[in-house]
Amino acid sequence: MTNSANQSQKPLTTKINSLGNIEIGGCDLVELAEKYGTPLYVIDENTLRTICKDYKKAFEKYPKTNIMYASKALCTSAISAILSQEGLGFDTVSGGEIYTIYKAGADMNKVLFNGNNKSIDELNLAIDLGVGRISVDNFYELALLNTIAQSKNKTVDILLRITPGIECHTHQYIQTGHLDSKFGFDLTQIDEAVELILNEYTNLKLHGLHAHIGSQIFETSVYSDEIDILCSELARLDEKFGLKLDEINIGGGLGVKYTEEDVPPSTYEIGEVIVNALDKAIKKYNIEAPAIFLEPGRSIISMCGVTLYTIGSSKQVPKGKKYVSIDGGMADNPRPSLYQAKYLAQVANKKETDETEEITIGGRFCESGDILIENITLPKLDEGDILCVYNTGAYNYSMASNYNRVEKPAMVLVNNGESEVIVKRETLDDLIRCDVIPDRLKK
């Protein structure tokens, strides 16, 4: 089976240059750190475009496939523009993501709006900007969306999000397809929702069903199970209501290789599994071939990104660990604290040496739990060295905070030896831009 970029721990252009430094996208990481400062998010454009092409090629046997980038993984204007150029659509979960993609010039008809508690303002924005599909999550939203559509004298194209009752072996916080979930209609509630759409909510047009079974998935059989459930529901709804739905959205979730122990399937393997499962289900339930939507996010962007840090202080605990601190941590990468996530790191400016030590990389933030990597073996570090942490394209910048009132890092795009800022580093004035001191508190 052909390998794909999501199976790599590092960007595809990673190499050691003649100076002994790590280079990505033709750019020396030490020079990037000197030019732009640290912490610094770095995105390799070559890897990003390659994985987009991998996905499209993996599903070329099923022409009704729509790849919808899950924007929550990383949503910036430049990233959205690249993905749009590669022909991808977008799965969004907020008005902010919708607006970012709109301003990036993407085709809004290829955008899906998803989420379990969309606001009135967000639904208005989605309709006004021409979002192609809204995935409705619950009965409250059905009624609300129909009222808004009615007020605009518009018909809104929707999917119903359902919980298919499938559990994948992933972290409990990123399982979304099992029955005890905050997302979607239970299978027993689908008929009631359909009846409301057909008889009362006439400003809504139902096209199909949407399910999502989790994130960082390594087992392929869950996709076959999910497709079988969705197709069986299409057949059942046709038989009961004469309703010929022609779309299914199976979510995303394909895993990536954070550590050597992680062995994710390639996009080509997933493509074969999904296409075969579709062919089987179409024949089994005697339905027309539906359009299929996928929402890969992490497996498109994660391996494209690295984060650079500068080494600072260190502490040797007597008869215990040695802690080495960096100038970032849980505010620019909360995943180790949230999910016990593990990462590969290397020293960007160290030539190979036999002098190594086992250390724990600590962050700069005022929390004992601000530990980026525990018990990693690296060349002996000095203050000012540059640490490169791999596979940080997904859920790092997008989940970053200003904890301890620290500015968020910049992000640069690298390609063919050129680097360009795509997110500016925040300033101290940015931190207080939205603060207001009431007049009575002013001296």
Catalytic residues: 366
In this structure, what is the dihedral angle of CA atoms 55, 256, 414, 370, given to the nearest 10 degrees? 150
CB contact at 8 A, 205 and 157: yes
Show the tokens assigned to 353: 């040496």
**DSSP 8-state assignment for residue 53:** H
Q: Which of 238, 329, 335 is nearest to 282 (CA)?
A: 238
What residues form DSSP beta bridges with 208?
Answer: 159, 247
- Pairing between strand 291-294 and 204-210? unpaired
Residue 4 one-letter amino acid: S
User: Could you tell me how far CA 239 lies from the centroid of its own chain?
Assistant: 37
User: Whole-angstrom distance between the N-terminal and C-terminal Cα of the chain?
Assistant: 70
Residues sharing a CB contact under 8 Å with residue 12, sequence separation 6 or more, in sequence order? 5, 44, 46, 47, 50
394, with CB counted inside 10 A (0-12, 13-18, 19+), is buried
CB contact at 8 A, 18 and 313: no
CA distance 132 to 9: 34
CA distance 380 to 367: 25
Task: Count other Cβ atoms within 10 Å, centred on residue 434.
Answer: 6
CA-based angle 148:150:151, to the nearest 5?
A: 65
